Amino acid sequence: MSAGPEKIIRDDIRALSAYHVQPAQGMVKLDAMENPYRLPEPLRREIGEVVANAEINRYPDPTAPALMRRLREVMGIGPEYGVLLGNGSDEIIHIIVQCVARPGAVVLAPRPAFFMFSQYAQFAGLPYVGVLLNPDFTLDAGAFLRAIAERRPAVVFIDYPNNPSGTLFSDQGIARIIAAAPGLVVIDEAYNPFARKTFMMRLAEFPNLVVMRTLSKLGLAGIRLGYAVGRPEWIREFNKVRPPYNVNVLTLLVAERVLAHYDVLDAQARSINAERERLDGELRKLPGVTVFPSDANFILVRVPDARRVFEGMRRRGVLIKNLHTGVPLLDHCVRLTIGTPEENRRCLAAFAEALAEG
């Protein structure tokens, strides 16, 4: 008789639970940092045409020349750098971690940080070091530099701004980390459309720097496209591990078309920022609430009882993220994604009511 999963599947994998996506049917969905806006009708029609003419009987061209040209033009990526495309930036993290996964290689990142940094390290069997942030979620550059000196990480991931806090770490702190790191440093700029600060310009200065981005937060979460930019020597190696047809034909075509209208996405990001500032101000008026300054499209808030607020909001039809799960510094924290003005009005009302329930 053949052995079942309990004999064959790694113990650490069997001990995990699958990535949990909360049911959101009929809810105001403010749990996943999506852009709440649809594309304007003329652009949707343009996409319809592009999709109708797509050669979906063929595999995608892995070099994706049209999208690459557009990305380079819109994002200001110089010809001296390579670009890696991923099925979301999730896949890029996975690829990079696999590439460095020789025995004993260490992955290092802030703590808390984007959950998938540690997950992919674990999948690859690598030790993962999370360097605790300060209680206000700023970077403890001294602790980070000490951890780098001690653990000599093969790769450092820094989310800039940080998820889940929304904090934009100091440029000087990050520059010191990149200069001190013995290996690769990946600056994850998933929330760049809102923060509007980047390390892209500093690729020339740091040979061990790779900048990673995604179109997900810009309003294209559904098509899954992430990219990483760095010296060709790095990108060439990552490309060997990339599944040959990882970005599908429809994604390549739609991303190219939408990026041709980048002004539309940029205007949406600007109104999300304006709403974030407004919501931040309103939340600060509520008693017993600590609001952490955010440069992303969400706000982290500490409340007296996170579970009560989360459940109270859910009962009122608003889905947010409860981060009170035992991760250090996140005690009684919830994360609110910025929605449309109407969604934010409902979010704020539900939040205030849930907070007042005792």
Q: Phi and psi at residue 111, in whole multiples of 5°?
A: -135, 120
- The CA distance from 228 to 320, in Å, is 29
- Strand ranges across the sheet with 82-86: 82-86, 226-230, 209-214, 184-188, 155-159, 107-111, 128-132
Is position 166 an interface residue for ligand PMP (rule: CB under 6 A)?
no
d(CA 299, CA 162): 11
Figure out which of the listed residues 35, 163, 251, 294 binds ligand PMP, where binding follows CB under 6 A.
163
Residues 105-124 touching ligand PMP, rule: CB under 6 A, are: 114
Judged by CB, which is closer to ligand PMP: 184, or 190?
190
Tally of CB atoms within 10 A around 235: 17
Position of minimal CB gap to ligand PMP = 88
Q: Quick check: 34 binds ligand PMP (CB under 6 A)?
A: no
Cβ closer to ligand PMP: 31 or 256? 31
Stretch of residues binding ligand PMP (CB under 6 A), selected from 66-74, 82-90, 253-261, 321-329: 82-90
Interaction with ligand PMP in 36-55: which residues (CB under 6 A)? Answer: none
Q: Which of residues 260-319 bind ligand PMP (CB under 6 A)?
A: none
C-beta closer to ligand PMP: residue 194 or 310: 194
Distance separating alpha carbons of residues 23 and 121, to the nearest angstrom: 27
If one asks whether residue 89 binds ligand PMP (CB under 6 A), the answer comes out as: yes
User: Shortest Cβ distance from residue 203 to ligand PMP (Å)?
Assistant: 19
From residue 212, give the alpha-carbon distance in Å to each of 85, 221, 231. Answer: 10, 15, 13
Q: Could you give the CA distance from residue 26 to residue 302 in angstroms, rounded to a whole number? A: 26
Q: For ligand PMP, which residue of 82, 226, 312, 339 counts as binding (CB under 6 A)?
A: 226
Closest CA to 47 of 248, 261, 247: 261
CB of 42: closest distance to ligand PMP in angstroms?
26
Q: Least distance to ligand PMP from the beta carbon of 2, Å?
A: 35
Note whether 230 binds ligand PMP by CB under 6 A.
no
Q: Contact between 130 and ligand PMP (CB under 6 A)? A: no
* Site membership for ligand PMP, residue 214 (CB under 6 A): yes
Q: Which range in 4-12, 35-43, 85-93, 259-267 contacts ligand PMP by CB under 6 A?
A: 85-93
Does the protein bind ligand PMP through residue 246 (CB under 6 A)? no
Euclidean distance between CA atoms 18 and 13, whole angstroms: 9
Identify which of residues 221 and 327 has a Cβ nearer to ligand PMP in the complex. 221
Exactly one of 28, 30, 33, 355 binds ligand PMP (CB under 6 A); that residue is: 33
Give the one residue of 90, 275, 280, 295 binding ligand PMP; rule: CB under 6 A: 90
Out of 64, 96, 105, 159, which residue is the one contacting ligand PMP (CB under 6 A)? 159
Q: What is the CA radius of gyration of the chain?
A: 21
What residues line the site for ligand PMP (CB under 6 A)? 33, 88-90, 114, 159, 163, 188, 190, 214, 216, 221, 226
